[in-house]
Chain A
């Protein structure tokens, strides 16, 4: 099993550009999460999904959108990138709720200039 995969690993965007961060898991997990990690800060939840077709906002959703058309995939869309979105983005999945172990992808380092 590949676990949780993320693409790309690195990306540089110009202000105002858009992009999609891809996340996929092959563990048949219902729950998937997107986090951002800023220097000196704890991971912050952007969006999460409890199953295909169901998504909900986390702590810092502004400037992002998600969709969950399949159990496996949970892409994160950045519209009109801003320097404040410079961060490392992690996707994670778990079989059930946050009380259960989460499996993390390798992360995407995004810089907005």
Chain B
């Protein structure tokens, strides 16, 4: 079993829909990251969180430490949101390193 599991692997939705991407992990963590990888390949950090909820524009990230689960939500989705969304965790031990999920490929259809 991978330390970081994401679901779904692929998601196709219509423009305007509310999107949820899930991330579950099996180790104690000091922080969880959500990253976005565009079709061109570049990776950018969206959120880093260790508790609660963060919001940036139409993106919302939540984390439940007790349940070892995080969600990334996109409101009013747009075709430019089409990308791979990657969850990564920094464990409590040896936290110089991140463990990555395999990503969720999101496609928003106009």
Contact = CB atoms under 8 A, between A and B. Distances in A.
12 contacts: A42-B4, A42-B101, A43-B88, A58-B97, A98-B96, A99-B48, A100-B31, A100-B48, A104-B43, A106-B42, A107-B41, A107-B43
A96 B6 CA distance: 26
Nearest to A9: B41
Contacts of A44: 100
B41 A48 contact: no
Interface of A: 31, 40-45, 48, 50, 56, 58-59, 88, 90, 92, 97-104, 106-107, 109
Contacts of A45: 97-98
Contacts of A43: 86, 88, 98, 100
B97 A99 contact: no
Contacts of A109: 41
Given A99-B50, A100-B48, A106 B98 contact: no
Given A41-B102, A43-B86, A98 B41 contact: no
A104 B33 contact: no
A29 to B, nearest CB: 13
A107 B98 contact: no
Contacts of A56: 96
